[in-house]
Structure 1
Amino acid sequence: MIDIHNHTTYSDGRNTVEEVIQSALKEGLQIVGISDHFDPYVAQEVCLQPEEVGVYRK
């Protein structure tokens, strides 16, 4: 099973990247994708911001 549409606290999700991954492992997913919103012109509460990209990629 796969789930490639997950949002984290970097955009409008409720879980951190680590929590999303741990949940996917617990559920036995074979593939998990993170697809946070990114638009530098939209409010920080709903989108990954340009200054966060470096940390996000790590």
Structure 2
Amino acid sequence: MKTKQSIYDRVKETLAVASQLVIASPVKLPPKLVIVAKYVALALGVLEAVEGAAKERGGEDDEGE
């Protein structure tokens, strides 16, 4: 049984797929569009890394600060 994704997760996944398609497209696209797609892919990668680190750290307390 599939779990229901939030709107945020669906938008994030859709943007990731769209940016990958634009970057890998064999068709000559405007350079600005390709640059924007690369930045979107980079931003989504950073966002995923931050979310993953936040989930790992979720059980820890901030005693050291």
| TM-score in terms of structure 2 length | 0.23
Q: Larger relative CO (CA 8 A, sep 6+): 1 or 2?
A: 1
Q: Which structure has more helix as a fraction of its residues?
A: 2
| TM-score in terms of structure 1 length | 0.24
Q: Which structure has more strand as a fraction of its residues?
A: 1
